[in-house]
Amino acid sequence: MTTYFLHDTTVLLKRSLRHILRSPDTIVTTAVTPIAMLLLFVYVFGSAIDIGGGSYVDYLLPGILLITIASGIAYTAFRLFTDVSGGIFERFQSMPITRSSVLWSHVLTSVVANLTSLVLVVLVALVMGFRSGAGVLAWLAVLGILVLFTLALTWLAVIPGLTAKSVDGVSGFSYPLIFLPFISSAFVPTSGMPGPIQWFAEHQPVTPIVNTIRGLYAEQPVGADGWVAVGWCLGLLLVAYALAMRTYRSKIA
The average pLDDT across 64-84 equals 85
Q: Going by C-beta distance under 8 Å and a sequence separation of 6 or more, which residues neighbour residue 150?
A: 69, 72, 73, 110, 111, 114, 115
Residue 238's pLDDT is 96
User: In total, how many domains does the chain have?
Assistant: 1
Cα 30 from Cα 69, distance rounded (Å): 8
Q: Is the dihedral of CA 220, 48, 29, 160 positive or negative?
A: positive
Q: Check pLDDT > 80 for residue 245.
A: yes
Indicate the angle between helix axes 136-163 and 100-127, nearest 10 degrees.
130
CA distance 231 to 237: 10
pTM score of the predicted model: 0.90
The pLDDT confidence band at residue 201, using thresholds 50, 70 and 90, is very high
Range of the domain at 47: 2-252
User: Which of the pair, 70 or 13, is modelled with greater confidence?
Assistant: 70
Q: How far apart are CA 205 and CA 202, in angstroms?
A: 8
Of 159, 117, 113, 151, nearest in space to 230 by CA: 151
Q: How far is C-alpha 216 from the chain's CA centre?
A: 19
134 pLDDT above the threshold of 70: yes
pLDDT > 60? residue 18: yes
Question: Where would I find the H helices in 128-204?
Answer: 136-163, 167-172, 174-179, 195-203
CB 3 within 8 A of CB 26: no
pLDDT class of 227 with cuts at 50, 70, 90 = very high
Burial of 245 (0-12, 13-18, 19+ CB in 10 A): middle
What's the pLDDT band for 95 if we cut at 50, 70, 90? Answer: low
